[in-house]
Amino acid sequence: MKIQGRVWNFGDDIDTDLIIPARYINISDGAELAKKCFADHRPDFAGKVSQDDVLIAGRNFGCGSSREHAPIALKTAGIGVIIARSFARIFYRNAFNIGLPLIESEEAADELSDGEEIIVDLATGEIKDRNGHKSFSTKPIPEFMRDLIQADGLVNYIREKKM
**pTM confidence score:** 0.94
pLDDT band at 162 (very low <50, low <70, confident <90, very high): confident
pLDDT band at 132 (very low <50, low <70, confident <90, very high): confident
Q: At residue 163, does pLDDT exceed 70?
A: no
- Domain range annotation of the chain: 2-161
- Read off the pLDDT of residues 23-78 as tens digits, 9 standing for 90 and up: 998 998 999 999 999 999 999 999 999 999 999 999 999 998 878 999 999 999 99
Q: How confident is the model at residue 143 (pLDDT cuts 50, 70, 90)?
A: very high
CB half-sphere exposure, 32, CA atoms < 13 A: 7
pLDDT at position 66: 79
**Alpha carbons 14 and 31: distance in angstroms, whole number:** 21
Say whether pLDDT at 160 is over 70.
yes
Angle at 95 between CA 94 and CA 96, to 5 degrees: 95
Q: Which of 115, 121, 18, 122 is nearest to 73 (CA)?
A: 18
Nearest to 67 by CA among 13, 27, 8: 27
Q: Which fold has domain 2-161?
A: Aconitase; domain 4 (3.20.19)
User: What is the rounded end-to-end Cα distance, in angstroms, of the chain?
Assistant: 25
